Amino acid sequence: MGHADWDERHRGKPAAEAEPFLLAMLARIPRGVALDVAAGRGRNALPLARAGIRVVAVDFSAEAMRLLAETARAASLTIWPVVANLDSFHLKDESFDAIVNINFLDRALFSQFGRALRPGGVLIADTFLVDQAAIGHPRDRRFLLGHEELRALAAGLEVEEYREGLVTYPNGERAFRASIVARRRKSG
């Protein structure tokens, strides 16, 4: 999809509900600077900022980042929206206390995530498993994790929490998901 398609997808819509796994893991996130990958309209950036975390929210859609900026400004939240293509977005080494990657899968980014975390920093990732194709969107295998793949993608980080399987959301929807909390070892 091009910029116009992504912008149209976001136009005039409020941020959706935050991912329940992220909300459940909020207490484990260091209160510093977090990167929200493929942030969209801020469904995960907003609760991070409300918890006292400064958020760099990156997304391909200028419209999504404009809407997030408006919402953050109105609520006096510290969120820096950045319009960028994640294929070419440079992650500086040891620049984030947390990285949140929900419903977005670019396997090549995971090695960068490990380097971009400060010592003691945490990666929270949660996305669809290959089993999801049998029950709904997405169906494209490029965007679906194999079993134990998320754990392998976080190699080099200390896994604190790992889940795979069928999740039922409060609204009754179901999805096959893999979720991880992994921390970069502290120096010394």
Residue 128 lies in a domain: yes
Residue 188 lies in a domain: no
Helix, strand or coil, per DSSP, at residue 114: helix
* Mean pLDDT for all residues in the chain: 92
Contact yes or no for 146/164 (Cβ under 8 A): no
Residue 71 lies in a domain: yes
Range of the domain at 138: 3-183
Residue 20 lies in a domain: yes
Q: Residues 122-147: pLDDT tens digits?
A: 999 999 999 999 999 999 999 999 99
Q: How confident is the model at residue 21 (pLDDT cuts 50, 70, 90)?
A: very high
Residue 142 lies in a domain: yes
CATH number of the domain at 130, please.
3.40.50.150
Residue 26 lies in a domain: yes
Q: How confident is the model at residue 8 (pLDDT cuts 50, 70, 90)?
A: low
Residue 134 lies in a domain: yes
Task: Say yes or no to pLDDT of 172 above 90.
Answer: yes
Contact yes or no for 86/106 (Cβ under 8 A): yes
Residue 173 lies in a domain: yes
Contact yes or no for 126/105 (Cβ under 8 A): no
Domains: count for the chain? 1
Contact yes or no for 42/71 (Cβ under 8 A): yes
